C-alpha cells in the first residue's frame, strides 16, 4: 500500500475511535488488526497528527534506542560479568535482565524483543553456561595457554616423554543424569533407598588414547596419589611421564613432592592454574563416566557399583580412539593440537 494511503488509513481509524467506536469495531472497518489501531491511537495521543504521517518504508538500518557507544558498553558488561556481579538478581543473562541493565545504566526502556535483536546483532546467542569460579585468574590462564603448556610440551617432546592429564572423582550410588518421561506438569520423582554407597576413581589420560585408572574406596590423600603415580611410572616401561594435575592438597603433599624430586628421570609433575578445571581433559572422562557408567544404571550395592565403574573404564581402555576424542572438546583443543 502506498505511503499516502497508509497515512489516510491511520487518520480514518483514529477519527472513528474519536467518534466513540471501539478499537475492535474500527479494526474491522478499515481491515487491520486491533493492535494496529491501538498503536495508531496511542501515537496520535502522544504526538498528534504528525505521528500518523507515513514514514520511510523498508527495513530500518539499525536500532535507535542506544547509541553505538552505549550499545558497545552494554555488550562488554554482558560478555565479562554475570548479573549477580553487576548487582542484578540472577547468574544467567536473560533478555529481561538485559532490559534492567540498560535502564539502570542509561535510563532507556527497551522491550525484550528489542533486546533480542540487540543481542543477536552483537554476536550473542542463548547457550548452556559453563561454571567458572570468580577466583579464576584470566592472566594465569592466559600464561598457561600461551607460555607454560607450550614449554611443557616442547620439553616432553625433546625427552620422548608422555604427557598425562590426571584427575580424581567421587561416585555415589544415587547419582542421576539425563531426563525421564512423565505426565505433563508432573515432575518425576526418583525414589531410592537412604542407604547410599560410594567409591572414588583417579585416572590419567593422554591425547593418543592412553587411559590408566585406579578405583579405590578410601579417602583421596597424598599416600593414595603417590601409589597411583608409582603405578604410572611402572606402567610407562621406561618412558618418562609428564603428569599434569590440579592443585588438590593430595597432589601437593610433602611425600609426593619428595618422591617426584627423587625421580626426575621418571616423572615430572605440573599444576594447572587454580580454579580452571575446564583446562583439564580428564574432566571430560569424569563426565563420561558419571553419565554413562553410573547415571543411567542404578547399582544395587557397592559390589555392583565397583563392577560397573571398572567395566566401563576397561571398555574405554580398549577403545583409545574414544579417549582421544575427549581432547576435541572446545576448552581442551589446545592440547589436541600439540599431541605427542
CATH topology assigned to domain 138-177+194-336? Nucleotidyltransferase; domain 5 (3.30.420)
Q: 309 falls in which pLDDT band (50, 70, 90)?
A: very high
pTM: 0.59
Three-state DSSP class for residue 326: helix
Total Cβ atoms within 10 A of residue 164? 24
pLDDT digits (tens, 9 = 90+) for 7-38: 777 888 888 888 888 888 877 776 777 778 88
Cα 318 versus chain centre, distance:
30
Cα–Cα separations (whole angstroms), residue 338 to 303, 326, 328? 40, 14, 12
Q: 330 falls in which pLDDT band (50, 70, 90)?
A: confident
- Cβ pair 319, 292 in contact under 8 A: no
End-to-end CA distance of the chain: 68
What is the helix (H) or strand (E) element at residue 5, kind and residue range? helix 3-18
Count of residues in the chain: 340
**How far is 224 from 254, CA to CA, in rounded Å?**
13
Report the alpha-carbon angle 109-114-116, nearest 5: 125
- Cβ pair 228, 210 in contact under 8 A: no
pLDDT at 234 over 90: yes
Cα–Cα separations (whole angstroms), residue 158 to 155, 210, 260, 267? 5, 20, 20, 14
- Cβ pair 287, 178 in contact under 8 A: no
pLDDT at 261 over 60: yes
Q: From 109, 110, 105, 34, select the one nearest 70 (Cα to Cα).
A: 105
* Extents of the domains making up the chain: 3-52, 68-121, 138-177+194-336
Q: 57 falls in which pLDDT band (50, 70, 90)?
A: very low
Three-state DSSP class for residue 211: strand
Percentage of the residues of the chain whose pLDDT score is greater than 70: 82
> Which residues contact residue 79 at a Cβ distance below 8 angstroms, ignoring those fewer than 6 apart?
124
Amino acid at each position: 500500500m502506498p505511503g499516502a494511503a497508509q497515512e489516510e488509513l491511520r487518520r480514518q481509524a483514529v477519527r472513528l475511535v474519536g467518534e466513540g467506536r471501539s478499537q475492535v469495531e474500527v479494526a474491522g472497518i478499515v481491515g487491520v488488526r486491533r493492535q494496529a489501531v491501538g498503536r495508531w491511537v496511542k501515537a496520535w495521543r502522544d504526538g498528534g497528527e504528525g505521528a500518523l504521517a507515513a514514514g520511510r518504508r523498508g527495513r530500518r538500518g539499525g536500532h535507535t534506542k542506544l547509541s553505538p557507544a552505549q550499545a558497545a558498553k552494554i555488550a562488554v558488561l554482558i560478555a565479562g560479568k554475570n548479573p549477580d556481579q553487576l548487582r542484578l538478581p540472577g547468574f544467567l543473562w536473560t533478555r529481561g535482565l538485559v532490559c534492567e541493565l540498560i535502564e539502570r545504566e542509561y535510563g532507556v526502556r527497551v522491550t525484550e524483543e528489542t533486546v533480542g535483536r540487540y543481542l543477536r546483532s552483537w554476536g550473542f546467542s542463548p547457550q548452556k553456561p559453563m561454571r567458572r569460579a570468580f577466583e579464576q585468574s584470566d592472566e594465569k590462564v592466559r600464561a598457561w595457554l600461551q607460555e607454560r603448556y607450550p614449554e611443557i610440551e616442547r620439553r616432553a617432546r625433546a625427552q620422548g616423554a608422555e604427557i598425562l592429564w590426571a584427575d580424581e572423582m567421587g561416585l555415589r550410588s544415587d547419582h542421576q543424569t539425563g531426563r525421564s518421561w512423565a505426565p505433563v506438569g508432573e515432575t518425576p520423582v526418583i525414589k531410592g533407598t537412604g542407604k547410599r554407597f560410594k567409591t572414588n576413581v583417579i585416572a590419567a589420560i593422554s591425547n593418543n588414547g592412553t587411559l590408566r585408572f585406579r578405583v579405590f574406596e578410601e579417602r583421596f590423600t597424598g599416600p593414595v596419589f603417590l601409589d597411583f603415580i608409582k603405578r604410572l611410572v611402572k606402567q610407562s616401561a621406561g618412558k618418562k611421564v609428564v603428569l599434569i594435575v590440579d592443585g588438590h592438597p593430595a597432589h601437593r603433599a610433602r611425600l609426593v613432592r619428595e618422591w617426584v624430586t627423587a625421580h626426575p628421570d621418571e616423572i615430572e609433575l605440573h599444576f594447572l592454574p587454580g580454579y580452571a578445571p575446564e583446562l583439564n581433559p580428564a574432566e571430560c572422562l569424569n563426565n563420561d563416566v558419571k553419565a554413562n557408567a553410573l547415571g543411567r544404571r542404578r547399582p544395587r550395592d557397592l559390589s555392583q557399583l565397583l563392577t560397573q565403574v571398572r567395566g566401563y573404564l576397561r571398555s574405554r581402555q580398549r577403545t583409545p580412539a574414544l579417549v582421544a576424542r575427549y581432547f576435541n572438546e572446545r576448552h581442551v583443543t589446545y592440547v589436541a593440537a600439540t599431541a605427542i
